[in-house]
Structure 1
Amino acid sequence: MWVRDHLDGLWCDEDFTSWYPRDGRPGLSPAQLATVCVLQFLLNLSDRQAAEAVRCRIDFKYALAMELDDPGFHHSVLTDFRDRLCEGDRADQLLDLALERMRDAGLLKERGRQRTDSTQILAAARELTRLELVLEAVRGALEETARRAPEVLDELVDTDWAKRYGRPVRLASQPSHPVTRLTQAGADARRLLDRLPPAARGPRTEALRQIMVQNFLIDTRGNLRPRTDKDGQPRGALRIVSPYDLQARRAIRGDTRWSGYLVHVTETCDADDSVNLITDMATTAPTRDSQALPGIHTRLRARRLLPAEHLVDGGYTSAALLDRSARDHQLQLVGPVKASGSWQEKQQTGYTREAFHIDFDRRQVTCPNGKTSGNWLEPPSMAPYTVVRFHALPCSRKPTSPSLHGGRRCDDRCRGCRLPTSGNTQGIRLSVRPLRSAVGNPTGT
């Protein structure tokens, strides 16, 4: 309603000309249908409830610029419109248009304050075991083949196949002979894929092929067998969890486990009383949040909506991203930086990098016992670190105080980053000066 008070609408019908054919009877306003989809999501309404609200609620009619006696439309229209919306990148195009018009109207401004966070999206698929995944993939490929090339199945499918793949797969929690059944399903899938001509292959067949690659291998004798842990299996970020959604992945964050995606939402959060507006949304595989941040900044820059201050949680921050955001986009990335994960920090038995005094101007490092470094090696062009080496120190020949050094020699303690020894030298690896400055530690003290 706040947007309607300032604009005639987020979209106009001319924005949707490429969505519909030029001939045929006049249809409903696509701009109004797009606005209804937004209101439907905000209020968590079903299609029937949303269509009823368009007919009966004055606030809906005001937001849609409809006459009070407008009868609205049938609820099935929303399903057809969403099908069109899901084609290609149309949803992103509508978001870009809405943001452009709000920016031109002065409702959005560049170089303000924005924040980003992520949440889980569940895939529209049930949890499958490995055996269920392969069986369901074979069943889906057989159904697709029956539509595209039914002649292939004449000599392939028999009564046993009909029993195994005639119905959706739902097994007990502990099915009988799981390894034997998995091997049999793999053999059936191999026979099907070998007989299918390229013209008959569709998305279900491609899904079966990818699942076979991830779960089976052919040994030196030419026999197909299931992969084991020793053979190597895809990690969670690559492993397919459903033959009907090849992009969904299984993920774990803390105590939360799910199969699906992550959505990263960016919105304005300026100090004034203005309404917070979403400026970017990105749906990705459930990977690290930090991997999504460069793309967020790139899209905001293309929309001319880069903030001056970007608030994030610890999953989005690192020394490299803090420095890159400042250099490439002239914005301040604000968020907690993860603590050191070194073995010295975890075991409390060795010096961390913070125990060394680093003087970048003099290109010198002083160890906790007051000894200075001998060599300062500048990093290669693409390496974000500097290597500093210490010559053999007098304190390496005598044990130090157990309360301070755990009863170990000082040179053992000076290996702050697990660099191996080289002759009579010890080494430490440091982030380059811009990265240390980005996390508020320019000197290392």
Structure 2
Amino acid sequence: MQGVERADRELLDAAALVGHLVPAGSMYAFLAEHRGRVFPDDQFADLFPSAKGRPSIPAPVAASILTLQTLLDYSDAETAEAARCDLRWKVACGLALDDKGFHPSTLTYWRRRLARSDRPHRITEAVRQVVEATGVLRGRRRRAVDSTILADAVATQDTITQLISQIRRVARVVPGAAEQIAAVCTGHDYTRPGKPDIDWDDPVAKDALVSALVNDANALVTALAEATLDEPAQQALALLALVAGQDVEPAEGSDGTDGRWRIARKVAEDRVVSTMDPEARHTRKSPEARRDGYRAHVAADPDTGIITDEQLTKAAGSDNSDPAVAAQFLANDHATTTGDGDLVGAADLPGGSTDDDHPGDPDRLPGREWYGDSAYGTGDLRDALDQAGHTAIIKPKPVQSPVAGGFTVDDFTVDDDERTVTCPAGHTRPISPTTRTAAFGALCRTCPLQATCTKSKTGRKIVLHEHDALLRQARRDWKTDPTLRERYRRHRPNIERVIAQVASRGGRRLKLRYRGVEPNNAWLKRRTAALNLRNLINHGLHWTDGWALTTS
């Protein structure tokens, strides 16, 4: 059953006895006074539908503990210890000085109840209601987007470790698999943990081991292919098939049919980095910086630092890319509308215009301004922003020439009406209606500009994006409009500070504590809620017949 806080204070109530020691204006002091308003009992009642059993920790207390835990990046054990021993936590959560606290598993219990409910992110929703009530975002048209890589909670495994550990897992979770392993797998004793004892400096021995493990994995998958399995068993077998193929290639001089394999000389595009967390991915933040983990995406108002949306995804994959998630943020954005659902200009918004670049201009563009670096400069995202009536202040992606210092695609003239492309030398070719390419072919052989245009023996070929006109216009505007670059320099860098707050604590880079996208996404939403609440508290968040701020 759901527990509730006592209406009267206990004899050794921490807030009454030592509340004056907690700094005013801190998160602890705020929760001590307002936790019941931010996290009311009725918002969590559906988690405990039965009126029987032992009462739970009261919802305002549990939500406050989860918020503090995420803000301070504490483990469950550290959180339980803080609630038992730290006076600030006792004051914030309304506990008595002699309260013994709770077992760390209680936090797991609460997270699971939230995850299985119809509203798994209700702590975030509660803080967003406070943000909305303060009006801190009212009339603000800007949104900035960015992302960062967060390290996963498991160790990255090499190919050999993945194969052995996953075969061992199949033996545990798939009925009858242990017997099949004993019958068809001969490359290693899978009842023993750890790697085999071989000469790891001998490439021949390593290739022989890789071949044996891959052949064992393939044989096991084949042996269990016709078995009737439940979902966990199917997933374990599918993951074994994946790791058996993602990192290996046929040995030199082999096509793979003879059972000879070696470690592939390249990294798979969507490589699973650990069988302990199959959703963690390998990616690159830059050509030099390789990272494993997940990608945290954030949208925020760059002027106030208030986070308006967040999403944690796998670190790789087109659906998890920066522009793809930004398009989701755009769809989720609660833009101010008229009664007919049309976007209105910020000059008409309650509270007036806050865009100091165009004060009082009634002809300004409607909708919001979206700021992002060149990773967000795709044609699809620009088109989505344009269709929604927003303005893209996004640094364009640079265009490259096949020849250093030579002609780029912007030096070619595109006529969309005639569906032709004209090169710098004046040659015109039609645009293919299916592939949107224009091939100059033999025209390049005798062209005096060939040396500065292409190295291809078959001539220059121009491939046009579906939204080529938008991309060209964006690059022209960036070059010719200094106010556009100035606004980008003024407002876009502010998202970097927001990202730093999300991804670090006390100068230390955070590492995720959970496995899988869903629990880590729930963590990210709690963290952004805690950061938003702290941001509001720093601006004098208080209750006076409603939420209000002392400073704007």
The two structures have a TM-score, normalised by structure 1, of 0.71
1:205 matched to 2:237? The reply is yes
* C-alpha distance 122-102 of structure 1, shift in aligned 2 (>3 A): same
Inter-partner Cα distance in structure 2 for 1:391 and 1:222: 43
1:304-346 per-position Cα deviation (integer Å, ceiling 9, x unaligned)? 169822222222223443343222x3223333222222213xx
* C-alpha distance 170-33 of structure 1, shift in aligned 2 (>3 A): farther
* C-alpha distance 75-439 of structure 1, shift in aligned 2 (>3 A): farther
1:186 matched to 2:214? The reply is yes
Choose which of 376, 398, 408 in structure 2 pairs with 1:352: 408
Report deviation, 1:411. Answer: 4.8
Choose which of 314, 317, 329 in structure 1 pairs with 2:374: 314
The answer to whether the 8 A contact 1:262-1:284 is kept is: yes
Q: Give the structure 1 partner of residue 400 of structure 2.
A: 341
Inter-partner Cα distance in structure 1 for 2:424 and 2:54: 82
Residue 157 of structure 1: SS of its match in structure 2?
helix
Inter-partner Cα distance in structure 2 for 1:186 and 1:343: 41
* C-alpha distance 143-316 of structure 1, shift in aligned 2 (>3 A): same
The answer to whether the 8 A contact 1:288-1:315 is kept is: no
Of residues 10-19 and 21-30 in structure 1, the stretch that sits farther from structure 2 once superposed is: 10-19
Inter-partner Cα distance in structure 2 for 1:288 and 1:341: 22
Letter in 1 for 2:375: G
* C-alpha distance 250-131 of structure 1, shift in aligned 2 (>3 A): same
1:226 matched to 2:256? The reply is no
Residue 182 of structure 2: SS of its match in structure 1?
coil
Choose which of 424, 440, 444 in structure 1 pairs with 2:476: 440
Q: Give the structure 1 partner of residue 363 of structure 2.
A: none
Report deviation, 1:72. Answer: 6.7
Choose which of 309, 316, 328 in structure 2 pairs with 1:298: 328
Letter in 2 for 1:35: S
Choose which of 450, 461, 471 in structure 2 pairs with 1:412: 450
Residue 157 of structure 2: SS of its match in structure 1?
coil
1:250 matched to 2:282? The reply is yes
The answer to whether the 8 A contact 2:414-2:421 is kept is: yes
1:213-264 per-position Cα deviation (integer Å, ceiling 9, x unaligned)? 445799999654436759xx8x533222222222222223333222222211
Report deviation, 1:134. Answer: 1.0
Letter in 1 for 2:471: L
The two structures have a TM-score, normalised by structure 2, of 0.59
Letter in 1 for 2:377: T
Letter in 1 for 2:131: M
Letter in 2 for 1:298: Q
Report deviation, 1:118. Answer: 1.9
Letter in 2 for 1:436: R
* C-alpha distance 175-37 of structure 1, shift in aligned 2 (>3 A): farther
Inter-partner Cα distance in structure 1 for 2:135 and 2:82: 30
* C-alpha distance 9-418 of structure 1, shift in aligned 2 (>3 A): farther
Letter in 2 for 1:254: P
Choose which of 272, 285, 292 in structure 1 pairs with 2:315: 285
The answer to whether the 8 A contact 1:139-1:165 is kept is: yes
Inter-partner Cα distance in structure 2 for 1:44 and 1:320: 36
* C-alpha distance 58-258 of structure 1, shift in aligned 2 (>3 A): same
Report deviation, 1:86. Answer: 5.0
Inter-partner Cα distance in structure 2 for 1:217 and 1:437: 44
Residue 61 of structure 2: SS of its match in structure 1?
helix
Report deviation, 1:40. Answer: 1.5
Of residues 115-124 and 354-363 in structure 1, the stretch that sits farther from structure 2 once superposed is: 354-363
Q: Percent identity?
A: 22
Letter in 2 for 1:239: R
1:326 matched to 2:386? The reply is yes
Choose which of 121, 136, 145 in structure 1 pairs with 2:150: 121
Report deviation, 1:191. Answer: 4.5
Q: Give the structure 2 partner of residue 79 of structure 1.
A: 108
The answer to whether the 8 A contact 1:10-1:98 is kept is: yes
Larger relative contact order (Cα-Cα within 8 Å, sequence gap ≥ 6):
2
Letter in 1 for 2:324: P
Report deviation, 1:278. Answer: 5.0
* C-alpha distance 342-127 of structure 1, shift in aligned 2 (>3 A): same
* C-alpha distance 96-343 of structure 1, shift in aligned 2 (>3 A): farther
* C-alpha distance 216-72 of structure 1, shift in aligned 2 (>3 A): same
RMSD of aligned Cα (Å): 4.6
Choose which of 186, 194, 198 in structure 2 pairs with 1:169: 194
Residue 164 of structure 1: SS of its match in structure 2?
coil
1:79-124 per-position Cα deviation (integer Å, ceiling 9, x unaligned)? 3323444558965454345424532453444753232222222223
